[in-house]
Amino acid sequence: MNKIKLVLTDIDGVWTDGGMYYDQHGNEFKKFHTYDSAGVLLCHQMGIPVGIITGEETNIVSRRATKLKVDFLFQGVQDKLSVAKDLCIQLNISLSEVAYIGDDRNDLQLLSEVGISGAPRNAHTSVLDKVDVVTEKMGGMGAFREFVEIILQ
């Protein structure tokens, strides 16, 4: 296996518990666990960029990515594999040098093409059966950090 040169991640169901929270005024909220910020820091300490690829498009994710100095943010994505391929071309790396963690059917195509694939333990069953790494942590409870720690060992 090639050395990992890029870590990609989904957000909802990985960095969050997958819930969508709304107040009486229609404001949307997401809860992030601080453990996952350490996953970004660990990657950066190893010189590995981190990218988020998500089907959702919210200012909440933009703010979190900016705060944690995430290197790449792609929101509103329907074809995650295509985005990852384009990013690999930009970085002059192959998909075999990418690690990706996702939790649902829309992640399957990308999960099947990367060097190391992962999912939180509460991911959809169609994902759990197809990945290299299943974290002990559930989405929203530090699953991203645990995935990073495993792949960087």
User: Class of the 6-151 domain?
Assistant: alpha beta
Of 23-32, 92-101, 143-152, give the lowest mean pLDDT range. Answer: 23-32
pTM value > 0.85: yes
Question: What is the distance between the alpha carbons of residues 111 and 55, in angstroms, rounded to a whole number?
Answer: 15
Cβ–Cβ under 8 Å, residues 135 and 120: yes
Q: Helices (DSSP H) in the chain: which residue ranges?
A: 35-45, 59-67, 80-91, 108-111, 125-128, 143-151
Q: pLDDT tens digits for 73-128?
A: 999 999 999 999 999 999 999 999 999 999 999 999 999 999 999 999 999 999 99
Residue spans per domain, the chain: 6-151
Which of 115, 147, 111 is CA-nearest to residue 129? 111
